[in-house]
């Protein structure tokens, strides 16, 4: 089976700044692929090259199992991080226009618009001008425009930015349905909780390089066994700097800390150290969450 999308050693510089330093990745059909990384890691630069907004300095981009062709962009839906709608147009006219850009005729576009506006709870706003809508509503309109031509690949750059929890839920339900339909989603974010819930496969980039790539379950299995949750009586920051602990995140409100131990470190030895620092109420091994793995991988890849 050919990959829906593939990047081979793609590089991009802006002047003396190297934004993307040889990124390679493979996106399988029908998966939700998470392109993750801290702000400034190179995620948006990579996506813009996929969409042919900017050209790579070197490397190769393949779509649908072959070198990308201009016509392939009509099989892709793109929701950019920077939203862009015509403020003086009505919602319906804006969406008809976006459909026309992908070759859709008005007669086939209108039923799709009605369906999506109803689904995203915007039916009553169809005749309103874009400038009358809230930021969250405008974001939903842009999502509709991304999906009107029923693309095979949907690329979403920070799609939940600025959305309240209710509208985030509407987006997540829509993405789940797209996956059921066999669509391929590439989802870019720096919020690990969202990626953990939505993605099948993860590619973490930092400083323009891939530092972690694989199936979510396999990644967690590989990092498992070294993650512990500790609850203390008092401030968990008292545990900072324990020998054999690669990373720690602490929550003062709950008295809990999450520890990721270095390879081959004995949890019992860490516990012996911890009890000299604080009164330990709980110490247990658990599967590491994606945020813990993310912090460790980014720190290990630090330049």
Residues 15-61: tens digit of each pLDDT = 999 999 999 999 999 999 999 988 888 999 999 999 999 999 999 99
pLDDT of 156 higher than 70: yes
**How many whole angstroms separate alpha carbon 303 and alpha carbon 297?**
12
As a whole number, mean pLDDT of residues 101-129 equals 93
Q: Which residue has the tokens 């690669």?
A: 246
Q: What is the DSSP letter of 223?
A: H
More confident residue, 234 or 190: 234
pLDDT 10s digits, 264-301 = 888 999 999 999 999 999 999 887 778 878 877 877 77
pLDDT (mean) for 129-155: 93
CATH number of the structural domain 5-220: 3.40.50.300
Domain ranges of the chain: 5-220, 225-286
Q: In the chain, pLDDT over 70 holds for what percent of residues?
A: 98
Q: What is this structure's pTM?
A: 0.81
- The CATH architecture to which 225-286 belongs is 2-Layer Sandwich (3.30)
Residue linked to tokens 């016509």: 71
Compute the distance between CA of residue 257 and CA of residue 273 in angstroms, rounded to an integer.
14
The per-residue pLDDT for range 217-233, each reduced to its tens digit, is: 888 777 766 889 999 99
């Amino acid at each position: 089976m050919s990959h829906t999308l593939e990047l081979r050693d793609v590089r991009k510089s802006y002047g003396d700044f190297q934004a993307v330093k040889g990124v390679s990745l493979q996106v399988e059909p029908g998966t939700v692929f998470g392109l993750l990384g801290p702000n400034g890691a190179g995620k948006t630069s990579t996506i813009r090259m996929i969409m042919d907004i900017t050209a790579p300095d070197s490397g190769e981009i393949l779509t649908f199992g072959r070198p990308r062709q201009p016509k392939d962009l009509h099989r892709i839906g793109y929701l950019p991080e920077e939203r862009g709608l015509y403020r003086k147009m009505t919602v319906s006219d804006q969406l008809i226009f976006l459909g026309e850009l992908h070759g859709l005729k008005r007669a086939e576009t209108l039923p799709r618009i009605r369906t999506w506006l109803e689904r995203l709870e915007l039916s009553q706003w169809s005749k309103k001008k874009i400038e009358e809508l809230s930021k969250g509503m405008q974001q939903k309109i842009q999502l509709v425009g991304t999906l009107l031509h029923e693309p095979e690949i949907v690329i979403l750059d920070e799609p939940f930015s600025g959305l309240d929890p209710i509208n985030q839920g509407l987006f997540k339900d829509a993405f789940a349905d797209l996956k059921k339909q066999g669509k391929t989603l590439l989802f870019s974010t720096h919020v690990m909780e969202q990626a953990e819930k939505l993605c099948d496969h993860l590619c973490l980039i930092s400083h323009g390089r891939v530092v972690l790539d694989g199936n979510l379950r396999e990644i967690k299995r590989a990092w498992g066994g070294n993650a512990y949750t500790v609850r203390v009586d008092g401030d968990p920051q008292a545990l900072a700097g324990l020998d054999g602990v690669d990373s720690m995140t602490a929550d003062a409100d709950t008295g809990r800390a999450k520890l990721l131990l270095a390879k081959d470190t004995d949890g019992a030895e860490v516990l012996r150290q911890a009890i000299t620092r604080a009164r330990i109420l709980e110490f247990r091994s658990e599967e590491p969450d994606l945020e813990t793995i993310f912090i460790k991988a980014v720190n290990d890849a630090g330049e």
